[in-house]
Structure 1
Amino acid sequence: MDSTREDGGRRWIDAERRDRVIRAAAAAGLVGEEHVAAGFLDVDGVRETAAGLQTAFGTDAPVLHTFAVKAAALVPVLRLVADAGLGAEVASPGELAIALAAGIPAERIVLDSPAKTPAELATALDLGVAVNADNLGELERIAALLPVRPRGSVLGLRLNPQVGAGTIGAMSTASEHSKFGVPLRDPGAYEQVLAAFDRYPWLTRVHVHVGSQGCPPDLIAAGIRAVWELAEEVNRRAGSGRVTGIDLGGGLPVNFDDDEVRPTHADYAAHLRAAVPGLFSGRYGLVTEFGRSVVAKHGFTAARVEYTKEVGGRRIALTHAGAHLATRTVLMPDAWPLRVDVHRPDGTRRHGPTEPQDVAGPLCFAGDVVARVRALPRIEPGDLVVLHDTGGYYTSAPWAYNSVPRPAIHGFTTAGGRIRFATVRPEQTLAELTAEAGGRYADALTALTAPSAPAAPVENGTARPHRPGPMPRHHR
């Protein structure tokens, strides 16, 4: 069964289907009293969106569609999108390792980062991963590494067209002072970029990413056009196709206001065809790096309501959905508001009269509120609150404050008319959390204060645990 439906040419997430999945999850015990929070990802919806993305760009120009790993850094999710035809865009050694673990071939991986170390660059070149250099200094590092390494990697340069910021400054990467890329409008920078292409014959790709949420298609297209024009100038000067590829980045914004999927990838591709028709001439191989727009609307988070109370004349639900799961929403509520539904403990949705209520999380700071003064059906203890559109970034950007264990993430499908679940990431155990908090090294600091204790040896940047004698009786 499709996860979206057509309505007058527009696509909508199937809310009735989602409600059936929530009921099934509650019945299966995936969320409730024992497991107080869980994330869910719609396998059918992700596959449908990946297919729509590939169809949207057509076949006029060769296109490698990569998935931005930062949006959902989970090996099974990457295996899913790879199976649906996408590669991976990575921005760290960890993301590269996750992509490789998912089985994504190196030639379908693109490495972006503003601070790549020589070791990271060497690893990428050895593997044959494509690399987009962030700055001219990084090109010098690559040039020094290439003589002793294979030439299998496609190498590009990230450019900042400085076309301005969107409505969320932190998500805008083509502003005047952005930390990313070579700023094309700074004095002398354009000429330096042209000189770099003259100097380095292995430099064959240009890269641009204007921003993500809050950046309208017109702004994104303006940045892409500026970089396409530079590629055209490089090729004109060279008298040949020196630049053979353009990495367009990602950044298609997602509608968080309701269940409508807007804009779609087809909308975006049509916009680019009108604004930069030369992109689709076939002279350039294209790369995209979409993340949020592939998965965001295909995920939701469900959490148990532990208590409710009246404060200052308003009802507050104390839940297990807080800043540890929805960090951006809690810390930047105006930029990242999420819709909330209320379901009974058995997963059926509550309807009826609404009243203004707050939905707060479990963390020990007053700002841990995911929704304020929301008109919702009256929330009761034991209910489930459901946060919509959390398929992108909400699984990969948790906050470790208060050491709350990370919840499980489950994928689901309704293919064949039957709801089935599969665990993507299990719930974090207290033992795992303790180990992550340095449990193996419990004595490391007190050992340093012992008068005759030897220094703990350090290997690979980590001190090996020191095992002193028995603790004093009053510490046992």
Structure 2
Amino acid sequence: MTAVTPAARRERILQEAVRQGLLDPEESLLAAFVDLDGVAATVGALHEAFAGPCGEGTRQDAGPSAAPRVLHTFAAKANCLVPVLRELAGLGMGCEVASAGELARALAAGFPPDRIVFDAPAKTRAELERALALGVAVNADSFQELERIADLLARRPSASRIGVRLNCQIGGGSIAAMSTATSTSKFGVPLTDPGNRERLVRAFAEHPWLTWVHTHTGSQGCPLDLMARGVAQAVDFADEVEAAFGPGRVEGVDIGGGLPVNFADDEVTPGFATYVEQLRTHAPDLFRRGYRIVTEFGRSLLAKNGFLAAYVEYTKTAGGRPIAVTHAGVQVATRTVFGPDAWPLRIEAYDGYGTARRGRPVRQDVAGPACFAGDLLARDRALPPLRTGDLVVVPDTGAYYFSTPFHYNSLPEPAVHGVRVGADGEVEFALIRPAQDPWRLSERDGVGVPPLEPVGAPVPGVG
């Protein structure tokens, strides 16, 4: 039996979405789809990559054939829609959160607190108090945060696992905004700044509840060997703490996430197994010494398992170049619009029934609906000629795109649908997020609240 290609699968889903009215040129101009079968397969690949023998260990329950004790958490920032998080929880994932809002969503999705990791550089006292009361794992981002945690724990003990984030300062990748281990990164305790390493060791001496080490080198644009060498630095520090205070003083190492995604075509590369090979090469003690491991992958789990589809509303020519004006732009592809060189996306052309167009490619712009000149999904892109009523599909947008809309021009959030395809080819949709009604957006702005008093107006009862 011939395997169905990702492109053929998207076309089948698109055609059925049109047939069922989930895409309609009058009513549903833009919609997004999450391939739940693909999500399950990707999560399975992650678990398999870390399930192999970890080599000889020094922990009581580690040995030559023991698998690393791993908690894989999903970085909620990549797609924080509660039904998606709930799906991941059902697949055995934990959840990494970086704000109170993400923590609330993780809890709503059913993640047990002991499978949630709270990372953020600006946690408030109230947020920490709540996380510690729940038993959520916390990674402190600074010495000041460690002292705040110490103060809270002195008042009320907690079952939370507490770690400290290290900035191993080993350098950045090709996208500066995605590189978190540069010498001046805002994240973590800078490990090579004068005196910091010694101060961190003293923190472990002073705080018996501090039992984890955390690091994250970066994500898109960061090569795998750089990421693995960052983990190696964190493991070296954990080994130093254990040498000072005895085996078992560091319970585990949270190695972050960051596996980059191939946005050029449908090939899934690099894979999780390739990254594990890099870890075994550069950070073998991560496995040999039997540390518990936490991962925090996000984009690599969801990006290629989601796509956007939008209708072409108008076509025109300017300066000799064709332009297709669509309903997908900065509101759902913010990074690409503002950083097209760092975040290029593929565009696929379909007719209004969801059948791929096969015409001779013509160089054209694919524009969004927002009222500024830079709202372009693609510039000078070779595609079959687009016409009014056609559909454009934007693959690889399952993470950080439609799940995190940008409300420019009061553009509404599109509907998001989960998709499963049976062995017989039958497509089943489940609503993940309903589309916003643009005519009711004002309800979110406090309509019904008394008008604000003008500046300088007399205050009743004062005069």
TM-score range, shorter chain: over 0.9
The answer on 1:153 being equivalent to 2:160 is: yes
Compute the RMSD of aligned alpha carbons: 1.7
What amino acid sits opposite 1:272 in the alignment? L
The correspondence for 1:60, drawn from 50, 67, 91, is 67
Secondary structure, aligned partner of 1:261: coil
**Alpha-carbon distance in 1 for matches of 2:442, 2:414:** 15
**Alpha-carbon distance in 1 for matches of 2:335, 2:31:** 18
The answer on 1:87 being equivalent to 2:94 is: yes
CA drift of 1:60 comes to: 1.8
CA drift of 1:397 comes to: 2.7
CA drift of 1:438 comes to: 3.0
User: Where do residues 293-308 of structure 1 align in structure 2 (5 Å cutoff)?
Assistant: 293-308=300-315
> Which blocks of at least 5 consecutive residues in structure 1 are unaligned?
6-12, 456-476
Corresponding position of 2:445: 437
The correspondence for 1:271, drawn from 275, 278, 282, is 278
Corresponding position of 2:298: 291
Deviations 1:2-51 (A, max 9, x none): 9x87xxxxxxx621111101111111111231111011000000001001
The answer on 1:75 being equivalent to 2:68 is: no
CA drift of 1:136 comes to: 0.7
Secondary structure, aligned partner of 1:416: coil
The correspondence for 2:29, drawn from 36, 41, 54, is 36
> Which blocks of at least 5 consecutive residues in structure 2 are unaligned?
52-65
Deviations 1:297-343 (A, max 9, x none): 01000011000001100100010011011000000000000000011
**Alpha-carbon distance in 2 for matches of 1:204, 1:452:** 56
The answer on 1:16 being equivalent to 2:8 is: yes
What amino acid sits opposite 2:354 in the alignment? G
CA drift of 1:154 comes to: 0.2
Deviations 1:272-294 (A, max 9, x none): 11221111125210000000000
Corresponding position of 1:352: 359
User: Where do residues 199-238 of structure 1 align in structure 2 (5 Å cutoff)?
Assistant: 199-238=206-245
Identity fraction in percent: 55
Corresponding position of 1:166: 173
CA drift of 1:110 comes to: 0.2
CA drift of 1:195 comes to: 1.1
Deviations 1:242-299 (A, max 9, x none): 1111000000000000000000111111221122111112521000000000010010
CA contact (8 A) 2:420 2:429 kept: yes
Normalised to the residue count of structure 2, the TM-score between the two structures is 0.93
CA contact (8 A) 1:32 1:303 kept: no
CA drift of 1:399 comes to: 1.2
**Alpha-carbon distance in 2 for matches of 1:431, 1:136:** 48
The answer on 1:333 being equivalent to 2:340 is: yes
Secondary structure, aligned partner of 1:147: helix
What amino acid sits opposite 2:72 in the alignment? H
The correspondence for 2:42, drawn from 37, 40, 49, is 49
Corresponding position of 1:469: none
**Alpha-carbon distance in 2 for matches of 1:106, 1:215:** 31
CA contact (8 A) 1:25 1:31 kept: yes
CA contact (8 A) 1:447 1:453 kept: no
Deviations 1:133-165 (A, max 9, x none): 000110100000012323200000000000101
**Alpha-carbon distance in 1 for matches of 2:276, 2:149:** 33
**Alpha-carbon distance in 1 for matches of 2:207, 2:311:** 57
**Alpha-carbon distance in 2 for matches of 1:161, 1:432:** 48
**Alpha-carbon distance in 2 for matches of 1:66, 1:454:** 56
The answer on 1:256 being equivalent to 2:263 is: yes
**Alpha-carbon distance in 1 for matches of 2:339, 2:208:** 44
Aligned length: 446
What amino acid sits opposite 1:371 in the alignment? A
Secondary structure, aligned partner of 2:452: helix
Secondary structure, aligned partner of 1:444: coil
Secondary structure, aligned partner of 1:98: helix
Corresponding position of 1:137: 144
What amino acid sits opposite 1:177 in the alignment? T
CA drift of 1:454 comes to: 7.7
User: Where do residues 85-124 of structure 1 align in structure 2 (5 Å cutoff)?
Assistant: 85-124=92-131
**Alpha-carbon distance in 2 for matches of 1:249, 1:167:** 19
